[in-house]
Structure 1
Amino acid sequence: MKKKFSLIFAVAGLLFMAPGCTDLEEQVLDETLKANLSPDEAANGLLAPVYALLPNLFQHTTYFALNEITTDEAILPYRGGTDWGDNGIYLALHQHNTTATDPNVNSTWGTLSQSISRSITAINGLKNSTSATAALYAAEARGMRAYYNMIMLDMFGVAFLKDDPNAASVIIRGEEALKYIESELLAIEPVVQPKSVVGPGRLNQVAVWGLLARLNLNAAVYRNIYAPTFEFRAEDMDKVIQYTDKIIASGQAKLSPDYFSIFGNQNHSNQELIFAVDQRADLNGHNRLAYFSISGDQFPLAAFPAANGTDGPGITSDFYQSWVQAYGAVDPKRDPRFYQENMSVYSNAADTCVKDSDYKINRGILRGQQFGALRVNGAFLRCPDGRLKVGKLSYVTRNRADLPVSFGELVDFTTAGSNYNTGYRVAKYEFGSESNTGRNKGDADIVILRLADIYMMRAEAKLRKSNDAAGALADVNLVRASRTATTPPPALTAMNLDLLFRERGFEFYWEMLRRSDMIRFGKYEGKWTEKSNADVKKRIFPIPQTAIDGASNVPGYLKQNDGY
């Protein structure tokens, strides 16, 4: 069954129910209200809003920005001195100098708060439903409330305990929050349906096991976020192994032979996905993760000459060099996760005329001179036979035809390092096939949890519990060997925590896992391009000042995180 429920209920609720605490009232989702709704329609209308804001949460300026641009993977300079300046918020994110007024922090907090509120509304509304789906939907809503609280805990150090829509939330932290989220997931685990029944776009049993594994893997961090070193308890690692074993044994997910198909426009049916933001065409998804990094003069769709990139973040040279160090004299594009060439024109400059149906930009980490559809005065150039003319790109859209779209390794916050063509770029998610603007109509589901992470989490738990390097190595090599659509990367011969951290970077770059990985592996206070801040208080983000101000009539209710 698809996740696309009829959005027919006007849902209202407050996360902080004390009068005047904060402005979190829900908006009407759909004004096509019907009288005499059937019980099933009413149940659908209650559950749909629980999932509805996931695309907003996983946008480039919300969850992505906070979990990637703060790390050694992504950097977003003030491009050309004219683009992505945004009052310095992306420079501050990367340098760990974010403040409580940052709009990306505000938006992420607000989306999570609203989603928790919608979950509570659904849980309570379904109590009296006579629909046959009521128990299942209530379990999903309860599980999603736990998931949103898990993200709150990870990013802001707090979770919200609340069942009665008319009562105030209780703010919990640390061990208490950890136990609460775990108990909620365990409570719904027997009720939610298998992934084989509902697919990856709804909370399913395998996804619950995966979230429990992720929660326990990070338990040491959540118990004491500012600890100089983390205590990874054997019982936590046992749980990680228990839940990852269950997922693998269930057979409900399979590793994908083609790495980039995991992030392709048809990935809803890719068996590696366990839990994802459902973005199939009729669900009005966004294309922001595909457009964010590539150049404004890269136009990936022959049908839409207005659909381009935006010259957003590049990868740091620090992250790129981790690939170079791993492969030595061999170009890292040898690894099928690094790069996928889709057209010979990129290596054979004589191929300048391409059928529209054959035109497809490359994927992965993009380096050097870029080739693509040539555009003049808003229209693509055509060869005499009508085919698309493809050639070397330059920054025509920036009025810099003299500047080639040739991505260099070095990128920083200097004037030269902030130019439009600085930094290698990432085109991991496939550009939406119907995205007429480049920003909208994304087709690819956004990955929240996939099977490769299950194996990697199990490997990490084995290392942290008993230094089982052989067991961890087997899990990591199994993932590497699975990418058989092209020549898979060679098997590793040794494994330790540093190598596993590097391998997670190769496997999961641009998937919004880097910040939590860096914190857990003790890397987040390190130095990399344009970042030297070693303050452990920056492991979590500030609570937005607007939220604190909104709760000001309840003294001490919402306290700012340390260090802000």
Structure 2
Amino acid sequence: MTFSSCTDDLNVTPKDDDEFLSETFFEDPASYKQVLAKLYAILYVGGNDGDGTPDIAGLGGDFSSYLRLLFVSQEFTTDEAVIAWADGTLPTFNTQLWSPENEFLAGTFSRAFYHISVANEFLRQTTDEKLTARGVDANLKAEIATFRAEARFLRAFSYYNLMDLFGNVPITTENDPVGFFYPVQKSRAEVFAFIESELKDLDNSLAPSKTNEYGRVDKTAAKFLLAKVYLNAKVYTGVERNNEAAALTNEIITSSGYTFANVPYRYLFSADNDKNGAQSEVIFPVISDGNAIRVVGGGMSFIMHASIGGSMDAASRGMDGGWQGIRTRREFVNLFPDETATADKRGTFYTDGQSKDITNVGTFTDGYAVTKYINKNADGSAAQRLDVPDIDFPMFRLTDAYLMYAEATLRGATGGNINTALGYINQIRTRANAAQINAAQLTLDFILDERGRELYWECHRRTDLIRFGKFTGGSKLWQWKGGSINGTATESYRDLMPIPARNIQANPTLQQNTGYFNL
């Protein structure tokens, strides 16, 4: 691994628009689950051969991992993380000074739409008409019906990320023509309505809660994503939907079958978090497996390798080495009562040889390192490999539903109960060995801080800060926000990312977001 810019990997262009799955591929009955597996794998790997040939041309398979790109946009842009590397325009995420020419944003946009295109083609190839024509038997047809529901959920998940990051984006479905055409850009409110309709309808076709195999989504995942959409509805549409958010999170908490993991907090982020008790609260994991998923540069492998450096012993983190990239900022450290995880077990920082202040973003030892994730089993035994971790990334987990319920209640949800919300918050804090709070302390500001303490490095922070009005502007500052060592206010239009210039070149009907200009 080198830390200079890999220019060939950063020349992002979408692959051939006419390249779709072949009809003949589906003549094999096993192919249907293989494509479903591809839809899940896209969240972790950059291409069919892992870090090698990428699904989207121009951005290397390591850089173009969905989870890696999501981490870049949701974490490096906030107080929770900073990256030392100087690859291309990557440093602009640290400072909120990105532009439409940012190749990583182009990769994020293209990666999500590639995910959508694979889902659409799968749905085209699995209609009753096509299945009957191929002689698919009734049992497989029933199984494929569930596969189709999962494909629609994963498509909705990508549309959610596009709506959250870029606002106004095109909508394409299986009903659109195959081949080259310019899909029509929709308003953020229209994308919101499409996602809402899809997720509500999926309650009729996804597997019942807790009945699907581990790693595949069920009805609760759709309800969880819909709750997130509703909680952020004021940002997306200008209309609050806190009542719906509270109702859905209450349903998830009380009747989904997912249960709060009464294990030490660190178990949730260990190599065996699929079986050490943590799995009881993970609603939607992105699976990692050191032997089955040989990806060094994507997913959790990126998060683990890049967060090790300085005097850290990589072997103690269960890894074969560090890339000296990701740390956190002093303002995030200050959310915890101490820097030693004594009064709150969640605040796990590596400080030996690290300064709390970040004088030079490019120096790994400037800023505390984070040791939340570890590629060792909860009992301390070794994971399968040192080069690729076994840690499953917890995209959705029940604890977040507790926090969403409390926030929606504080925001005035008529069905929310403040005492119930307080109980949920104190249950979370009990697991962390943190002090209990009382009703007077349960404020929206507290919720934002508690979401940081509980969910950091789980790809929620940018969205959370925007919902609270603290992502841009000057009401909340952190080191290097706006390019200043102590932070400075940034323009409010940066609550939305720009539509990437390269994607506008590919589809000239796309309109740029307010405040941004293409070169």
2:268 to 262, 271, 293: 262
Question: CA 1:334 to 1:551, structure 2 compared with 1: closer, same or farther past 3 Å?
Answer: same
Report the equivalent of 1:336: 345
Cα deviations by residue, 1:391-440 (Å, 9 ceiling, x for unpaired): xxxxxxxxxxxxxxx11211134xxx643311101122223734444xxx
Q: In the alignment, is the contact (CA less than 8 A) between 1:149 and 1:160 conserved in 2?
A: no
Whether 1:136 and 2:136 are equivalent positions in the alignment is: no
Report the equivalent of 1:227: none
Task: Tell me the TM-score normalised to structure 2 length.
Answer: 0.79
Q: Within 2, Cα distance between the matches of 1:115 and 1:334?
A: 42
Q: In the alignment, is the contact (CA less than 8 A) between 2:245 and 2:408 conserved in 1?
A: yes
Q: Within 2, Cα distance between the matches of 1:152 and 1:187?
A: 20
Written as runs of structure 1 = structure 2, the 5 A alignment for 1:76-87 is: 76-77=83-84, 84-87=85-88
Report the equivalent of 1:475: 424
Q: Within 2, Cα distance between the matches of 1:24 and 1:220?
A: 37
1:543 to 499, 503, 514: 499
Q: In the alignment, is the contact (CA less than 8 A) between 2:281 and 2:397 conserved in 1?
A: yes
Written as runs of structure 1 = structure 2, the 5 A alignment for 1:4-83 is: 23-25=15-17, 37-39=27-29, 41-56=30-45, 61-77=68-84
Which runs of 5 or more structure 1 residues have no equivalent in the other structure?
A: 1-20, 78-83, 225-230, 340-364, 370-405
Report the equivalent of 1:559: 511
Q: Within 1, Cα distance between the matches of 2:363 and 2:146?
A: 52
Q: In the alignment, is the contact (CA less than 8 A) between 2:66 and 2:108 conserved in 1?
A: no
The alpha-carbon deviation at position 112 of structure 1 amounts to 0.4
Q: In the alignment, is the contact (CA less than 8 A) between 2:308 and 2:314 conserved in 1?
A: no
How many residue pairs match? The answer is 444
Q: In the alignment, is the contact (CA less than 8 A) between 2:327 and 2:364 conserved in 1?
A: no
Q: Within 2, Cα distance between the matches of 1:96 and 1:151?
A: 18
Task: Tell me the TM-score normalised to structure 1 length.
Answer: 0.73
Superposed CA RMSD in Å reads: 2.8
Calculate percent identity across the aligned residue pairs. 26
1:529 to 479, 482, 488: 479
Question: CA 1:153 to 1:28, structure 2 compared with 1: closer, same or farther past 3 Å?
Answer: closer
1:427 to 358, 371, 375: 371
Written as runs of structure 1 = structure 2, the 5 A alignment for 1:81-480 is: 84-87=85-88, 89-127=89-127, 128-129=130-131, 130=136, 131-132=140-141, 133-163=143-173, 164-166=175-177, 168=181, 169-224=183-238, 233=240, 236-256=241-261, 257-269=263-275, 270-281=279-290, 282-284=292-294, 286=299, 287-295=301-309, 298-301=312-315, 307-324=320-337, 332-339=341-348, 365-367=349-351, 369=352, 406-413=353-360, 418-431=362-375, 433-437=383-387, 441-465=388-412, 469-480=418-429
Cα deviations by residue, 1:524-560 (Å, 9 ceiling, x for unpaired): 12322111242111112122211111113xxxx2112
The alpha-carbon deviation at position 299 of structure 1 amounts to 4.2
Aligned residue identity for 2:322:
G
Q: Within 2, Cα distance between the matches of 1:443 and 1:502?
A: 29
Local SS of the residue matching 1:63: helix
Aligned residue identity for 1:528:
W
Q: Within 2, Cα distance between the matches of 1:528 and 1:35?
A: 51
Question: CA 1:166 to 1:27, structure 2 compared with 1: closer, same or farther past 3 Å?
Answer: closer
Q: Within 2, Cα distance between the matches of 1:334 and 1:261?
A: 18
Q: In the alignment, is the contact (CA less than 8 A) between 1:75 and 1:314 conserved in 2?
A: yes
Local SS of the residue matching 2:427: helix
Q: In the alignment, is the contact (CA less than 8 A) between 1:296 and 1:308 conserved in 2?
A: no
Local SS of the residue matching 2:38: helix
Report the equivalent of 1:492: 437
Aligned residue identity for 2:342:
K
Cα deviations by residue, 1:253-283 (Å, 9 ceiling, x for unpaired): 2222221111111112321110011223423
The alpha-carbon deviation at position 210 of structure 1 amounts to 0.5
Q: Within 1, Cα distance between the matches of 2:314 and 2:372?
A: 13
Q: Within 2, Cα distance between the matches of 1:24 and 1:284?
A: 26
Report the equivalent of 2:458: 511
Local SS of the residue matching 1:93: helix
